[in-house]
Amino acid sequence: MARLTAATVVERVAIAAASAGLALAIGILIVGIAGYDPARFAAQLAVGAFGSERAVARTLRFTTLFILAGVAVAVAFRAGVFNIGVQGQFVVGGLASVVAIVWAAPALPTGPVGGVLLISFGLFVATVAGGLYGALPGALKAYADANEIITTIMLNFIAIGVGGWLVGGRLRGADATSVRTERLPEYVTFPRIVFDDPNFSIVGLGLALVVVVVVAFLMTRINTGYDMVTSGIQASAARYSGVNAKRTIVTTMTLSGMIAGIAGAVFAIMIQGYFTDPSGIGSYGFDAIAVSLLAANNPIGVVPAALLFGGLNSAGSHIQIASNVPVQLIDGIIGLVVLFVAAPELFRMAALRLGITGDDR
């Protein structure tokens, strides 16, 4: 039985691949049972995700946000702390970045130089705001023994509700025809290189990948990362080794919130150019939980997992327009992926029965 409790990296990759592949296969089968052409549906999945430059840009746009939000979840989950509040931290970070940029724009030069300065300032403010919003449930868990699942869920509702109230009231743009903030200056945007898409820049993806590398290095090569994992999983062992477990739990949630705040800023700067009612921005923070699960809470593994979910979301947008297959079937396929990933022991037990695992060590 010991073999069933400790998966190697290779096994985790195989589990994730098997989960995603089987979910896609069953999803396509369901499409056929529902009376639609499964071959056409599968083709539209591929075309919608990677069939054109526009489709690739759309896929990478989703992927960028899923990478950042997925890493935010993975940092906490890997440390044994359940941060279900990435959506709220995403909202806080995105709104804070827009407010900071709009406030600072008159004091800085225009053009590319001003754009770089304002984007840097907005990302910094988003990082701080998301980190502080993540630190709050961390402190409640560490010093008040509050259940972080409950507190982070409640903080999601607070961020969305208060954010919507602010965007519709005090922070609403003077010339806005909808519920949104002032639009960012035209020069405050990521450069459109490689892809000529108004809602995606390879710079945003590059920023996400830099975050992945930094977090992976922190979690595996720095003592702070080791302390985070130890404090979350075995607080008593951490205390015995001289680590302040409570402070480290707060640090973990703060780091997770900081990354979620960056995700919100990238969403606001790269995609929207303003910040709108948080209830309508999408469920990136919630979907990131599935991304992190598929990646076994490994920051590096989040990248291919985010690409899969980005492709599925991009294909869903395409299928809704190009075929008569209900787009809800895409959500069903994503749900199947989550279901299979949530039950990894099923796949590992099957592998044991078939004798395709390594020796028992």
pLDDT reading at 338 higher than 50: yes
Residues 6+ apart with CB under 8 A from 295: 16, 70, 74, 301, 302, 303, 304, 305
Residue 81 phi/psi, 5-degree rounding, is -115, 130
What's residue 360's pLDDT? 44
Tens of pLDDT, residues 18-75: 777 888 888 888 888 888 888 888 888 899 999 999 999 999 999 999 999 999 999 9
The CA distance from 101 to 185, in Å, is 9
pTM reported for the whole predicted model: 0.89
User: What is the tens place of the pLDDT at every residue in 245-282?
Assistant: 788 889 999 999 999 999 999 999 999 999 999 998 98
Residue bearing the bigger pLDDT, 252 or 12? 252
Reported as a single tens digit per residue, the pLDDT across 61-113 is 999 999 999 999 999 998 888 999 999 999 999 999 999 999 999 999 999 99
Report the distance separating Cα 181 and Cα 143, nearest Å.
36
Q: How far apart are CA 50 and CA 165, in angstroms?
A: 38
The predicted structure's pLDDT at residue 359: 46
CA dihedral for 351, 352, 354, 359, sign (positive or negative): positive
pLDDT at 7 over 90: no
Identify the pLDDT of residue 36.
83
